[in-house]
Structure 1
Amino acid sequence: MATVKKTKEKKEKKLTKDDLISLYMDQVLEREEFPGTVYRFCKDHDLKEEDFYQFFGSFSALEKGIWELFFEHTMNMLQKSKEYEAYSNREKMLTFYFTFFELLSVNRSYVLFALKRHKAPLKNMEQLKGLRKQVKGFARDLIRDANESKQVKLLKQSEMIFAEGAWIQMLFLLKFWMDDNSPRFESTDVAIEKSVNTVFEIFDNTPLERVLDFGKFLWKEKMA
Protein backbone atom coordinates (compact mmCIF):
# COMPACT_ATOMS: atom_id res chain seq x y z
CA MET A 1 0.00 0.00 0.00
CA ALA A 2 2.86 2.37 0.75
CA THR A 3 4.29 1.85 -2.73
CA VAL A 4 0.96 2.67 -4.35
CA LYS A 5 0.67 5.87 -2.34
CA LYS A 6 4.13 7.05 -3.39
CA THR A 7 3.38 6.33 -7.05
CA LYS A 8 0.19 8.33 -6.86
CA GLU A 9 1.94 11.30 -5.27
CA LYS A 10 4.61 11.22 -7.97
CA LYS A 11 1.97 11.36 -10.69
CA GLU A 12 0.29 14.31 -9.01
CA LYS A 13 3.53 16.30 -9.27
CA LYS A 14 3.50 16.26 -13.06
CA LEU A 15 5.12 19.38 -14.54
CA THR A 16 2.69 22.11 -15.61
CA LYS A 17 3.13 25.19 -17.77
CA ASP A 18 2.93 27.39 -14.68
CA ASP A 19 5.66 25.31 -13.00
CA LEU A 20 7.95 25.69 -16.00
CA ILE A 21 7.40 29.44 -16.15
CA SER A 22 8.10 29.77 -12.40
CA LEU A 23 11.35 27.82 -12.76
CA TYR A 24 12.41 30.04 -15.66
CA MET A 25 11.58 33.32 -13.92
CA ASP A 26 13.29 32.24 -10.70
CA GLN A 27 16.45 31.20 -12.54
CA VAL A 28 16.62 34.46 -14.47
CA LEU A 29 16.39 36.47 -11.26
CA GLU A 30 18.71 34.31 -9.20
CA ARG A 31 21.47 34.27 -11.83
CA GLU A 32 20.69 37.71 -13.29
CA GLU A 33 20.94 36.32 -16.81
CA PHE A 34 18.80 34.44 -19.30
CA PRO A 35 19.46 30.72 -19.93
CA GLY A 36 21.61 29.91 -22.93
CA THR A 37 20.16 26.58 -24.05
CA VAL A 38 17.09 24.49 -23.31
CA TYR A 39 19.40 21.53 -22.66
CA ARG A 40 21.27 23.29 -19.86
CA PHE A 41 18.10 24.77 -18.38
CA CYS A 42 16.46 21.36 -18.20
CA LYS A 43 19.59 19.76 -16.77
CA ASP A 44 19.76 22.42 -14.04
CA HIS A 45 16.19 21.59 -13.00
CA ASP A 46 16.34 17.83 -13.43
CA LEU A 47 13.94 17.90 -16.40
CA LYS A 48 13.92 16.15 -19.73
CA GLU A 49 13.99 18.34 -22.82
CA GLU A 50 10.68 16.85 -23.94
CA ASP A 51 9.18 18.16 -20.68
CA PHE A 52 10.05 21.66 -21.85
CA TYR A 53 8.94 21.19 -25.45
CA GLN A 54 5.51 19.89 -24.53
CA PHE A 55 4.69 23.49 -23.54
CA PHE A 56 7.04 25.76 -25.52
CA GLY A 57 9.14 25.42 -28.65
CA SER A 58 11.81 27.87 -27.49
CA PHE A 59 12.78 30.34 -24.78
CA SER A 60 11.30 33.09 -26.94
CA ALA A 61 7.92 31.33 -26.91
CA LEU A 62 8.16 30.86 -23.14
CA GLU A 63 8.92 34.56 -22.62
CA LYS A 64 5.84 35.48 -24.64
CA GLY A 65 3.92 32.89 -22.62
CA ILE A 66 4.79 34.66 -19.37
CA TRP A 67 2.98 37.80 -20.52
CA GLU A 68 0.06 35.79 -21.85
CA LEU A 69 -0.18 34.10 -18.46
CA PHE A 70 -0.26 37.50 -16.74
CA PHE A 71 -3.26 38.38 -18.92
CA GLU A 72 -4.99 35.04 -18.34
CA HIS A 73 -4.57 35.29 -14.56
CA THR A 74 -5.94 38.83 -14.67
CA MET A 75 -9.04 37.77 -16.61
CA ASN A 76 -9.58 34.79 -14.31
CA MET A 77 -9.55 37.11 -11.31
CA LEU A 78 -12.01 39.49 -12.97
CA GLN A 79 -14.40 36.73 -13.98
CA LYS A 80 -14.49 35.39 -10.44
CA SER A 81 -15.96 38.70 -9.31
CA LYS A 82 -19.76 38.65 -9.16
CA GLU A 83 -19.87 42.42 -9.71
CA TYR A 84 -17.65 42.49 -12.80
CA GLU A 85 -20.30 41.49 -15.36
CA ALA A 86 -22.55 44.34 -14.21
CA TYR A 87 -19.81 46.94 -14.66
CA SER A 88 -19.89 49.52 -17.44
CA ASN A 89 -17.19 49.32 -20.13
CA ARG A 90 -15.29 52.10 -18.41
CA GLU A 91 -15.37 50.23 -15.09
CA LYS A 92 -14.31 46.98 -16.78
CA MET A 93 -11.35 48.67 -18.41
CA LEU A 94 -10.32 50.34 -15.16
CA THR A 95 -10.62 47.07 -13.24
CA PHE A 96 -8.63 45.25 -15.88
CA TYR A 97 -5.72 47.71 -15.71
CA PHE A 98 -5.73 47.89 -11.91
CA THR A 99 -5.67 44.09 -11.63
CA PHE A 100 -3.12 43.60 -14.40
CA PHE A 101 -0.64 46.10 -12.96
CA GLU A 102 -1.15 44.74 -9.46
CA LEU A 103 -0.07 41.36 -10.84
CA LEU A 104 2.90 42.94 -12.59
CA SER A 105 3.93 44.59 -9.33
CA VAL A 106 4.07 41.19 -7.63
CA ASN A 107 6.46 40.12 -10.40
CA ARG A 108 8.18 43.49 -10.80
CA SER A 109 11.78 42.26 -10.53
CA TYR A 110 11.38 39.85 -13.44
CA VAL A 111 9.32 42.26 -15.56
CA LEU A 112 11.85 45.09 -15.26
CA PHE A 113 14.75 42.74 -15.94
CA ALA A 114 13.02 41.30 -19.02
CA LEU A 115 11.92 44.66 -20.44
CA LYS A 116 15.43 46.11 -20.06
CA ARG A 117 17.21 43.12 -21.53
CA HIS A 118 18.11 44.80 -24.84
CA LYS A 119 19.26 48.36 -25.45
CA ALA A 120 16.81 48.71 -28.34
CA PRO A 121 13.28 49.23 -26.84
CA LEU A 122 11.56 47.68 -29.84
CA LYS A 123 13.51 44.46 -29.40
CA ASN A 124 12.23 44.23 -25.83
CA MET A 125 8.69 44.56 -27.15
CA GLU A 126 8.97 41.24 -29.02
CA GLN A 127 7.95 39.36 -25.89
CA LEU A 128 4.66 41.29 -25.79
CA LYS A 129 3.29 40.00 -29.11
CA GLY A 130 0.93 37.50 -27.52
CA LEU A 131 -0.19 40.02 -24.90
CA ARG A 132 -0.93 42.53 -27.67
CA LYS A 133 -3.33 40.10 -29.30
CA GLN A 134 -5.05 39.39 -25.98
CA VAL A 135 -5.45 43.04 -24.98
CA LYS A 136 -6.80 43.98 -28.40
CA GLY A 137 -9.25 41.09 -28.22
CA PHE A 138 -10.43 42.26 -24.80
CA ALA A 139 -10.92 45.82 -26.10
CA ARG A 140 -12.76 44.59 -29.19
CA ASP A 141 -15.19 42.66 -27.02
CA LEU A 142 -15.89 45.78 -24.98
CA ILE A 143 -16.59 48.00 -27.98
CA ARG A 144 -18.62 45.25 -29.68
CA ASP A 145 -20.92 45.07 -26.67
CA ALA A 146 -21.26 48.86 -26.69
CA ASN A 147 -22.03 48.93 -30.42
CA GLU A 148 -24.76 46.32 -30.07
CA SER A 149 -26.71 48.72 -27.86
CA LYS A 150 -26.51 51.51 -30.47
CA GLN A 151 -29.27 51.35 -33.07
CA VAL A 152 -27.89 54.20 -35.19
CA LYS A 153 -25.00 52.94 -37.31
CA LEU A 154 -23.22 56.32 -37.34
CA LEU A 155 -22.88 56.22 -33.56
CA LYS A 156 -21.03 52.91 -33.63
CA GLN A 157 -17.27 52.95 -33.15
CA SER A 158 -14.59 51.01 -35.02
CA GLU A 159 -13.59 47.87 -33.13
CA MET A 160 -10.22 47.78 -34.88
CA ILE A 161 -9.29 51.38 -34.01
CA PHE A 162 -10.52 51.10 -30.42
CA ALA A 163 -8.52 47.88 -29.96
CA GLU A 164 -5.34 49.48 -31.33
CA GLY A 165 -5.90 52.49 -29.08
CA ALA A 166 -6.23 50.20 -26.06
CA TRP A 167 -2.90 48.58 -26.89
CA ILE A 168 -1.15 51.95 -27.21
CA GLN A 169 -2.65 52.93 -23.86
CA MET A 170 -1.31 49.69 -22.36
CA LEU A 171 2.21 50.46 -23.62
CA PHE A 172 2.05 53.99 -22.24
CA LEU A 173 0.92 52.75 -18.82
CA LEU A 174 3.53 49.99 -18.86
CA LYS A 175 6.33 52.49 -19.40
CA PHE A 176 4.82 54.78 -16.75
CA TRP A 177 4.72 51.89 -14.25
CA MET A 178 8.34 50.94 -15.05
CA ASP A 179 9.45 54.47 -14.11
CA ASP A 180 7.13 54.79 -11.11
CA ASN A 181 8.97 55.15 -7.79
CA SER A 182 5.95 56.10 -5.69
CA PRO A 183 4.92 53.99 -2.66
CA ARG A 184 2.80 51.02 -3.76
CA PHE A 185 2.97 52.51 -7.26
CA GLU A 186 0.16 54.90 -6.41
CA SER A 187 1.13 57.21 -9.29
CA THR A 188 0.43 54.42 -11.73
CA ASP A 189 -3.05 53.96 -10.24
CA VAL A 190 -3.69 57.67 -10.80
CA ALA A 191 -2.37 57.45 -14.36
CA ILE A 192 -4.64 54.48 -15.07
CA GLU A 193 -7.72 56.24 -13.75
CA LYS A 194 -7.00 59.51 -15.54
CA SER A 195 -6.12 57.90 -18.88
CA VAL A 196 -9.14 55.58 -18.94
CA ASN A 197 -11.56 58.28 -17.81
CA THR A 198 -10.18 60.74 -20.37
CA VAL A 199 -10.51 58.26 -23.22
CA PHE A 200 -14.11 57.42 -22.33
CA GLU A 201 -15.03 61.08 -21.81
CA ILE A 202 -13.88 62.05 -25.30
CA PHE A 203 -14.89 58.77 -26.87
CA ASP A 204 -18.35 59.90 -27.96
CA ASN A 205 -17.30 63.41 -28.93
CA THR A 206 -13.97 62.99 -30.73
CA PRO A 207 -13.16 60.90 -33.79
CA LEU A 208 -11.28 57.87 -32.49
CA GLU A 209 -8.60 58.32 -35.11
CA ARG A 210 -7.56 61.54 -33.33
CA VAL A 211 -7.49 59.73 -29.99
CA LEU A 212 -5.28 57.08 -31.58
CA ASP A 213 -2.89 59.72 -32.94
CA PHE A 214 -2.70 61.34 -29.52
CA GLY A 215 -1.96 57.96 -27.92
CA LYS A 216 0.90 57.34 -30.35
CA PHE A 217 2.29 60.79 -29.52
CA LEU A 218 2.21 60.05 -25.78
CA TRP A 219 3.93 56.70 -26.29
CA LYS A 220 6.71 58.23 -28.38
CA GLU A 221 7.22 61.02 -25.86
CA LYS A 222 7.38 58.56 -22.97
CA MET A 223 9.84 56.32 -24.79
CA ALA A 224 12.05 59.31 -25.60
Structure 2
Amino acid sequence: MKNTQNISKQEILTAYMNHVLDFDNQPNSIHAFAKKLGIDEKYFYNHYTSFDQIAADVYVTFYEESIKLMMSEISYNELDSRNELLAFYFTFFELLTNNRSYVLSTLNKPTVDLKRIKVFIPLRNRFKEFIKSLNIETLDLKQEKINTLKEKSIEEIAWTQLLFTIKFWMEDTSPGFEKTDVFIEKSVNACFDLLDYTPLESIIDFGKFFFKEKIKSQY
Protein backbone atom coordinates (compact mmCIF):
# COMPACT_ATOMS: atom_id res chain seq x y z
CA MET A 1 0.00 0.00 0.00
CA LYS A 2 1.27 3.44 -0.94
CA ASN A 3 0.91 5.61 2.14
CA THR A 4 1.00 8.75 0.02
CA GLN A 5 -1.34 11.68 -0.42
CA ASN A 6 0.16 12.64 -3.77
CA ILE A 7 -2.58 11.02 -5.83
CA SER A 8 -4.39 13.72 -7.78
CA LYS A 9 -8.08 14.37 -8.20
CA GLN A 10 -7.73 13.68 -11.92
CA GLU A 11 -6.13 10.28 -11.27
CA ILE A 12 -9.03 9.27 -9.05
CA LEU A 13 -11.57 10.50 -11.59
CA THR A 14 -9.86 8.66 -14.45
CA ALA A 15 -9.64 5.44 -12.44
CA TYR A 16 -13.32 5.73 -11.59
CA MET A 17 -14.29 6.19 -15.25
CA ASN A 18 -12.19 3.18 -16.25
CA HIS A 19 -13.86 1.06 -13.58
CA VAL A 20 -17.33 2.05 -14.80
CA LEU A 21 -16.33 1.24 -18.38
CA ASP A 22 -14.94 -2.16 -17.36
CA PHE A 23 -17.73 -3.23 -15.01
CA ASP A 24 -20.70 -1.01 -16.00
CA ASN A 25 -21.16 -0.01 -12.38
CA GLN A 26 -19.60 1.96 -9.55
CA PRO A 27 -16.95 0.23 -7.40
CA ASN A 28 -18.33 -1.81 -4.51
CA SER A 29 -16.70 0.33 -1.82
CA ILE A 30 -14.30 3.21 -1.36
CA HIS A 31 -12.01 0.89 0.59
CA ALA A 32 -11.77 -1.58 -2.30
CA PHE A 33 -11.35 1.23 -4.82
CA ALA A 34 -8.57 2.88 -2.80
CA LYS A 35 -6.83 -0.47 -2.44
CA LYS A 36 -6.96 -0.94 -6.20
CA LEU A 37 -5.38 2.50 -6.60
CA GLY A 38 -2.67 1.49 -4.15
CA ILE A 39 -3.42 4.20 -1.59
CA ASP A 40 -4.81 4.37 1.93
CA GLU A 41 -8.52 5.12 2.00
CA LYS A 42 -7.96 8.38 3.89
CA TYR A 43 -6.18 9.89 0.88
CA PHE A 44 -9.25 9.31 -1.27
CA TYR A 45 -11.17 11.64 1.04
CA ASN A 46 -8.75 14.48 0.32
CA HIS A 47 -10.62 14.88 -2.96
CA TYR A 48 -13.99 13.10 -2.71
CA THR A 49 -16.27 11.63 -0.07
CA SER A 50 -18.45 9.47 -2.35
CA PHE A 51 -18.60 7.91 -5.80
CA ASP A 52 -21.62 10.06 -6.62
CA GLN A 53 -19.41 13.14 -6.25
CA ILE A 54 -16.96 11.69 -8.77
CA ALA A 55 -19.76 10.81 -11.19
CA ALA A 56 -21.02 14.39 -11.06
CA ASP A 57 -17.50 15.79 -11.35
CA VAL A 58 -16.94 13.88 -14.59
CA TYR A 59 -19.49 16.08 -16.35
CA VAL A 60 -18.21 19.23 -14.66
CA THR A 61 -14.76 18.30 -15.96
CA PHE A 62 -16.16 17.98 -19.48
CA TYR A 63 -17.64 21.47 -19.06
CA GLU A 64 -14.44 23.00 -17.68
CA GLU A 65 -12.31 21.42 -20.40
CA SER A 66 -14.71 22.77 -23.03
CA ILE A 67 -14.32 26.30 -21.67
CA LYS A 68 -10.52 25.96 -21.58
CA LEU A 69 -10.42 24.76 -25.18
CA MET A 70 -12.67 27.61 -26.27
CA MET A 71 -10.52 30.19 -24.52
CA SER A 72 -7.38 28.80 -26.12
CA GLU A 73 -8.81 28.85 -29.63
CA ILE A 74 -11.33 31.68 -29.73
CA SER A 75 -11.17 35.38 -28.99
CA TYR A 76 -14.33 36.16 -27.04
CA ASN A 77 -14.21 39.73 -28.33
CA GLU A 78 -14.80 38.40 -31.83
CA LEU A 79 -17.95 36.40 -31.03
CA ASP A 80 -21.47 37.46 -30.19
CA SER A 81 -23.45 35.45 -27.65
CA ARG A 82 -25.04 33.24 -30.29
CA ASN A 83 -21.72 32.11 -31.77
CA GLU A 84 -20.11 31.81 -28.36
CA LEU A 85 -22.84 29.38 -27.33
CA LEU A 86 -22.45 27.48 -30.60
CA ALA A 87 -18.70 27.22 -29.98
CA PHE A 88 -19.36 25.80 -26.52
CA TYR A 89 -21.84 23.27 -27.85
CA PHE A 90 -19.53 21.96 -30.56
CA THR A 91 -16.59 21.72 -28.14
CA PHE A 92 -18.64 20.12 -25.37
CA PHE A 93 -20.14 17.49 -27.66
CA GLU A 94 -16.76 16.71 -29.14
CA LEU A 95 -15.59 15.84 -25.62
CA LEU A 96 -18.75 13.79 -25.02
CA THR A 97 -18.07 11.90 -28.24
CA ASN A 98 -14.49 11.22 -27.14
CA ASN A 99 -16.00 9.63 -24.01
CA ARG A 100 -19.19 8.25 -25.55
CA SER A 101 -18.86 4.75 -24.10
CA TYR A 102 -18.69 6.16 -20.58
CA VAL A 103 -21.56 8.59 -21.13
CA LEU A 104 -23.86 5.93 -22.56
CA SER A 105 -22.91 3.54 -19.76
CA THR A 106 -24.07 6.07 -17.16
CA LEU A 107 -26.97 7.78 -18.94
CA ASN A 108 -28.47 5.35 -21.44
CA LYS A 109 -30.57 3.36 -18.98
CA PRO A 110 -34.36 3.04 -18.65
CA THR A 111 -34.27 4.37 -15.09
CA VAL A 112 -32.38 7.55 -16.00
CA ASP A 113 -34.40 10.75 -16.45
CA LEU A 114 -32.02 13.46 -17.70
CA LYS A 115 -34.25 16.20 -16.26
CA ARG A 116 -34.04 14.79 -12.74
CA ILE A 117 -30.67 13.04 -12.66
CA LYS A 118 -28.67 14.21 -9.64
CA VAL A 119 -25.33 13.70 -11.38
CA PHE A 120 -26.13 16.73 -13.56
CA ILE A 121 -26.79 19.19 -10.72
CA PRO A 122 -23.22 20.64 -10.56
CA LEU A 123 -23.04 20.77 -14.37
CA ARG A 124 -26.42 22.53 -14.45
CA ASN A 125 -25.17 25.21 -12.05
CA ARG A 126 -21.97 25.80 -14.01
CA PHE A 127 -23.75 25.88 -17.37
CA LYS A 128 -26.34 28.37 -16.11
CA GLU A 129 -23.49 30.62 -14.93
CA PHE A 130 -22.02 30.42 -18.43
CA ILE A 131 -25.35 31.32 -20.03
CA LYS A 132 -25.72 34.26 -17.67
CA SER A 133 -22.26 35.48 -18.65
CA LEU A 134 -23.36 35.69 -22.29
CA ASN A 135 -25.71 38.58 -21.42
CA ILE A 136 -28.33 37.41 -23.88
CA GLU A 137 -30.80 40.18 -24.53
CA THR A 138 -34.43 39.77 -25.48
CA LEU A 139 -36.99 42.14 -26.90
CA ASP A 140 -40.28 43.06 -25.28
CA LEU A 141 -42.94 41.18 -27.22
CA LYS A 142 -46.70 41.37 -27.26
CA GLN A 143 -47.29 37.78 -28.42
CA GLU A 144 -48.81 35.88 -25.50
CA LYS A 145 -47.18 32.51 -26.23
CA ILE A 146 -43.71 34.01 -26.58
CA ASN A 147 -44.13 36.07 -23.42
CA THR A 148 -45.16 32.94 -21.54
CA LEU A 149 -41.96 31.29 -22.73
CA LYS A 150 -39.91 34.31 -21.67
CA GLU A 151 -41.32 34.16 -18.16
CA LYS A 152 -38.95 31.29 -17.60
CA SER A 153 -35.37 32.34 -17.17
CA ILE A 154 -33.11 32.21 -20.17
CA GLU A 155 -30.78 30.00 -18.14
CA GLU A 156 -33.51 27.39 -17.59
CA ILE A 157 -34.46 27.44 -21.27
CA ALA A 158 -30.82 26.97 -22.25
CA TRP A 159 -30.38 24.11 -19.77
CA THR A 160 -33.44 22.32 -21.12
CA GLN A 161 -32.08 22.79 -24.63
CA LEU A 162 -28.73 21.26 -23.60
CA LEU A 163 -30.48 18.20 -22.12
CA PHE A 164 -32.56 17.89 -25.27
CA THR A 165 -29.37 17.95 -27.35
CA ILE A 166 -27.66 15.34 -25.16
CA LYS A 167 -30.65 13.06 -25.65
CA PHE A 168 -30.55 13.59 -29.42
CA TRP A 169 -26.80 12.87 -29.49
CA MET A 170 -27.27 9.67 -27.46
CA GLU A 171 -29.76 8.40 -30.06
CA ASP A 172 -27.81 9.67 -33.10
CA THR A 173 -26.56 6.87 -35.37
CA SER A 174 -25.30 9.05 -38.24
CA PRO A 175 -21.61 8.80 -39.30
CA GLY A 176 -19.51 11.07 -37.11
CA PHE A 177 -22.75 12.15 -35.38
CA GLU A 178 -23.16 14.67 -38.15
CA LYS A 179 -26.89 14.97 -37.47
CA THR A 180 -26.10 16.16 -33.96
CA ASP A 181 -23.99 18.96 -35.46
CA VAL A 182 -26.95 19.98 -37.62
CA PHE A 183 -29.27 19.72 -34.61
CA ILE A 184 -26.99 21.97 -32.55
CA GLU A 185 -26.78 24.67 -35.18
CA LYS A 186 -30.48 24.68 -35.99
CA SER A 187 -31.69 24.49 -32.37
CA VAL A 188 -29.36 27.22 -31.07
CA ASN A 189 -30.23 29.52 -33.97
CA ALA A 190 -33.95 28.83 -33.51
CA CYS A 191 -33.72 29.55 -29.78
CA PHE A 192 -31.93 32.86 -30.31
CA ASP A 193 -34.30 33.88 -33.06
CA LEU A 194 -37.25 33.12 -30.81
CA LEU A 195 -35.79 35.24 -28.01
CA ASP A 196 -34.88 38.08 -30.39
CA TYR A 197 -38.06 37.66 -32.42
CA THR A 198 -36.51 37.31 -35.85
CA PRO A 199 -37.95 33.86 -35.86
CA LEU A 200 -39.95 32.15 -38.52
CA GLU A 201 -37.39 30.91 -41.04
CA SER A 202 -34.93 29.27 -38.62
CA ILE A 203 -37.62 27.99 -36.24
CA ILE A 204 -39.53 26.34 -39.08
CA ASP A 205 -36.26 24.96 -40.46
CA PHE A 206 -35.40 23.41 -37.09
CA GLY A 207 -38.93 22.05 -36.69
CA LYS A 208 -38.78 20.35 -40.08
CA PHE A 209 -35.39 18.81 -39.29
CA PHE A 210 -36.45 17.50 -35.87
CA PHE A 211 -39.78 16.16 -37.14
CA LYS A 212 -38.07 14.36 -40.04
CA GLU A 213 -35.52 12.72 -37.72
CA LYS A 214 -38.21 11.60 -35.26
CA ILE A 215 -40.30 10.08 -38.07
CA LYS A 216 -37.23 8.19 -39.34
CA SER A 217 -36.49 6.82 -35.87
CA GLN A 218 -39.92 5.17 -35.75
CA TYR A 219 -39.26 2.98 -38.79
Change (3 A) 1:117 1:62: farther
Match of 2:16 in 1: 24
Q: Does 1:65 align with 2:57?
A: yes
Give the structure with the higher percent helix. 1
Secondary structure, in 3 states, of the residue corresponding to 2:90?
A: helix
Give 3-state SS (helix, strand or coil) of 1:99's partner.
helix
In the alignment, which residue of structure 1 is the partner of 2:99?
107
Is the 2:56–2:119 contact (alpha carbons within 8 Å) kept by the matching residues of 1?
yes
For residues 60 and 34 of structure 1, the distance between their equivalents in structure 2, rounded to whole angstroms, comes to 9
What amino acid does structure 2 have at the position aligned with 1:174? I
Secondary structure of 1:121's counterpart equals coil
2:172/2:179 contact within 8 Å kept: yes
Q: Tell me which amino acid in the other structure corresponds to 2:7.
A: L
TM, length-normalised to structure 1: 0.76
- Aligned residue for 1:8? none
Paired residue secondary structure (2:39): coil
Q: 1:162 aligns with which of 154, 159, 165?
A: 154
Percent identity between matched residues is 37
Unaligned runs of 5+ in 1: 1-10, 212-217
Query: Which of 77, 80, 88 is residue 85 of structure 1 equivalent to?
Result: 77
What is the Cα deviation at residue 117 of structure 1?
4.9
Secondary structure of 2:26's counterpart equals coil
**Contact 2:17/2:102 (<8 A) preserved:** yes
Tell me how far apart the structure 1 counterparts of residues 151 and 96 of structure 2 sit (CA, whole Å): 27
* Counterpart residue type for residue 64 of structure 1: A
TM-score (norm 2): 0.78
CA contact (8 A) 1:117 1:124 kept: no
Deviation sequence 1:2-46 (CA, Å, 0-9, x none) = xxxxxxxxx9x9321111110000111122322111011111121
1:197 aligns with 2:189: yes
Q: How big is the shift at 1:85?
A: 3.3
Residue 139 of structure 2 corresponds to residue 138 of structure 1: no
Aligned partner of 1:121 in structure 2 is 113
Secondary structure in structure 1 of the residue aligned to 2:28: coil
Change (3 A) 1:118 1:42: farther
Residue of structure 1 equivalent to 2:29: 37
On the 8 A contact 1:173/1:191 being kept in 2, the answer is yes
Q: Cα distance, 1:120 vs. partner?
A: 4.3
Aligned residues: 191
Amino acid at match of 2:43: D
Of stretches 34-43 and 159-168 in structure 1, the one that deviates more from structure 2 is 159-168
Cα pair distance change 1:43/1:181, threshold 3 Å? same
2:188 pairs with 1:184: no
Q: Distance in 1 between matches of 2:186 and 2:18?
A: 34
CA–CA distance in 2 between the matches of 1:118 and 1:24? 22
Say whether the 8 Å CA contact 1:90–1:200 is kept in structure 2: yes
Change (3 A) 1:60 1:181: same
Name stretches of at least 5 consecutive residues in structure 2 with no aligned partner.
142-149, 204-209, 215-219
